[in-house]
Structure 1
Amino acid sequence: MTPVPSFLVHPSSTIDRPVEPLAPSTRSWSRAFADLRVGFANRQLWAHLGWQDIKQRYRRSVLGPLWITIGMGVTALGTGLLYALILNVDVPTFLPFVTVGFIVWNFLSGCLTEGLQTFITNEGLIKHLPAPLSVYVLRTVWRQTLLLAHNLIVYVLVAAVFFTSISHEYTMSADGSGTHQPGLGWTFFLVVPGFLLVAVNGGWVAMLLGIISTRYRDIPQVINAIIQLLFYATPIVWTTDTLTKQKDLAQSVLNWNPLYHLIQVMRAPLIGQSVDALSWIVCVGMAVVGWGLALVIMKNYRARVSYWV
């Protein structure tokens, strides 16, 4: 039997007991679920790889990962102030809205764009290591989580500066005619389940689209072409309060935008806004349906990925 590399050991084990690698096999539900189980068990591997990705990106840089925070801060400040003037909204409440919107969007778009390339960029590891496919998906999501953590520093600074504006009931419109938000309160802690839902959805997106993109290399090009359109179609730098005409119609259209709900379950608690029950339902429903589709794809094509790359 070929020995398993030393870093593919079960993290909870007190001895160097290797995790049994997943051998390619025929289509099987048990193999698909085992891939996820063993992948999560190898958390030392994907956590180390994800952290190394961050370190490698900023190798020989003086500020290192702090450039992530600086870049996000400059983008949020410049865009927030510009659109606040254009849309005539209240800067102290609009700037936190834009900042958190950018932070969550970067996490979602990162899971999407890098998820498309998950298995392609890990070609060398897939061909030489007996690791389950879920390890590479978890590596991608973990890397995006580390980037999210760095970007949240910007939120802390913005929230501290404008705390008095978002800590009580407020509206983002300059004349006070917009939707009234309750302000920061105990609902702040809803950001935890919100993030978990966003991460779970990011996981199935990376798994499902990663496998499909490995087989059909045109898919990443198509998705990347429409990401910018999705950005402007999602309320990140604008709100429904700024729509003077057909506001109800715009909100109805937004209810069909899954990215809007994914952003809201994280953004709303952080800036003192209420989260509609519909957003929670949509996010949970997407996670269930999405992972169902991902498992079907894993069942049928998991063993072929090593040949496609």
Structure 2
Amino acid sequence: MRSWRRAVDDLGDGWRQRQLWGHLGWQDIRQRYRRSVLGPVWITISMAVTAVALGILYSGLFDIELSRFLPHVLVGFIVWAFISGCIAEGSEVFIANEGLIKHLPSPLSVHVYRLVWRQSLFFAHNMLVYLVMLLVYPQPLKWTAVYAIAAFAVLAVNGVWVALTVGIVTTRFRDILPITQSVVQLMFFLTPIVWVYDELVNSPNPEIAERARLAEFNPFLHYVEIIRRPLLGQDQVWRHWVVVLVITVVGWALTMLVLRRYRSRVSYWV
């Protein structure tokens, strides 16, 4: 039955079962690193190796001091890992949980909360690399660093609606799955993770500066910046927050429409 009440109840009932999806999220990580000596520490090691390698490579290519460029890349990479994880895994969140959906009566949102919780745990592990980076390359942190906490909360809220919408659509149209994964890979290079947006915008070459401003149309730029800037001791640029909050409202409105119309069909599509 299609109704707003059922759509809202799905989200509410799923949240009230947080003991269930919280436990399942922990089990996902434990299962992934089962029989591994270092266990989840591999999450941190993998992130550190990748970020340092990219930082050293692109620091030389762009002729930027490593002490300034590496923190930029590292924090950007940590945030991007969360974003890309919510989108890529969100596209198959219901397909991957086919057995539970068919045999365990529970709200659809339980599987999405489980996904976002798992990605949050990965994010927490990766933040250990950030703390080590602060010891090697101290940053001029201010009290505004607390904005990063609010920014991550907003990011997680967005992760829920993205995974819900993409997950439902992909369950119906399976060809969208590889398309979504390809788009995520492409957007990594279009988002200022391994390049510095401010450097290009302030370039003495007006043509380069003009092209760099096109990055403002990339929504991922704004999501990354609301977390990266406070973690690097930089001043907040409030237009990033405005864009993110507008996308959040519009995204949730779209998600509620999709959830109301197609929630009951997911169990048949999987």
Taking structure 1 as the reference length, the TM-score comes to 0.84
Q: Find 1:132's aligned residue among 102, 107, 110.
A: 107
Shift of 1:241: 4.2
User: Is the partner of 1:255 in helix, strand or coil?
Assistant: helix
C-alpha separation in 2, matches of 1:232 and 1:41: 38
Shift of 1:297: 0.6
C-alpha separation in 2, matches of 1:282 and 1:240: 17
Aligned to 2:170: 213
Q: Does structure 2 retain, via aligned residues, the 8 Å contact 1:115–1:206?
A: yes
Structure 2: which amino acid aligns with 1:238?
Answer: W
C-alpha separation in 2, matches of 1:279 and 1:196: 15
Matches within 5 A, 1:283-302: 283-302=244-263
Matched, 1:262 2:219: no
Runs of 4+ with deviation above 4 angstroms? none
Structure 2: which amino acid aligns with 1:298?
Answer: L
Residues 274/247 of structure 1: CA separation in 2 closer, same or farther (3 Å cut):
farther
Matches within 5 A, 1:208-247: 208-243=165-200, 244=203, 245=205, 246-247=207-208
Shift of 1:242: 4.1
Aligned to 1:52: 27
| Higher helix fraction (1 or 2) | 2
C-alpha separation in 1, matches of 2:208 and 2:129: 31
Q: Which runs of 5+ in 2 are unaligned?
A: none
Q: Find 2:50's aligned residue among 75, 84, 103.
A: 75
After superposition, give the CA deviation of every residue in 1:75-132 in whole Å (9 maximum; x if it has no partner).
1111101111111112111111100011000000000000001100000000011110
Aligned to 1:94: 69
After superposition, give the CA deviation of every residue in 1:191-226 in whole Å (9 maximum; x if it has no partner).
011001111111110000000000000111111122
Shift of 1:275: 2.4
Matched, 1:199 2:138: no
C-alpha separation in 2, matches of 1:238 and 1:51: 34
Q: Does structure 2 retain, via aligned residues, the 8 Å contact 1:68–1:147?
A: yes
C-alpha separation in 2, matches of 1:209 and 1:105: 18
When Rg is computed on C-alpha atoms for both structures, the one with the higher figure is: 1
C-alpha separation in 2, matches of 1:287 and 1:200: 8
Taking structure 2 as the reference length, the TM-score comes to 0.96
Shift of 1:251: 4.3
Q: Does structure 2 retain, via aligned residues, the 8 Å contact 1:191–1:269?
A: yes
Structure 2: which amino acid aligns with 1:212?
Answer: V
Name which of structure 1's ranges 237-246 and 225-234 shifts more when overlaid on structure 2.
Answer: 237-246
Shift of 1:289: 0.7
Count of residues in correspondence between the two structures: 266
After superposition, give the CA deviation of every residue in 1:221-271 in whole Å (9 maximum; x if it has no partner).
111122221111110000134434335424431211100001011111101
Q: Which runs of 5+ in 1 are unaligned?
A: 1-25, 168-183
Matches within 5 A, 1:116-155: 116-155=91-130
Aligned to 2:240: 279
Aligned to 2:137: 162
Seq. identity, %: 51
Shift of 1:276: 1.3
Residues 284/241 of structure 1: CA separation in 2 closer, same or farther (3 Å cut):
closer
Structure 2: which amino acid aligns with 1:290?
Answer: G
Q: Does structure 2 retain, via aligned residues, the 8 Å contact 1:87–1:242?
A: no
Aligned to 2:85: 110
Structure 2: which amino acid aligns with 1:160?
Answer: L
Structure 1: which amino acid aligns with 2:241?
Answer: W
After superposition, give the CA deviation of every residue in 1:169-210 in whole Å (9 maximum; x if it has no partner).
xxxxxxxxxxxxxxx211111001100111111111000000
C-alpha separation in 2, matches of 1:251 and 1:77: 24
Higher relative contact order (CA 8 A, sep 6+): 2
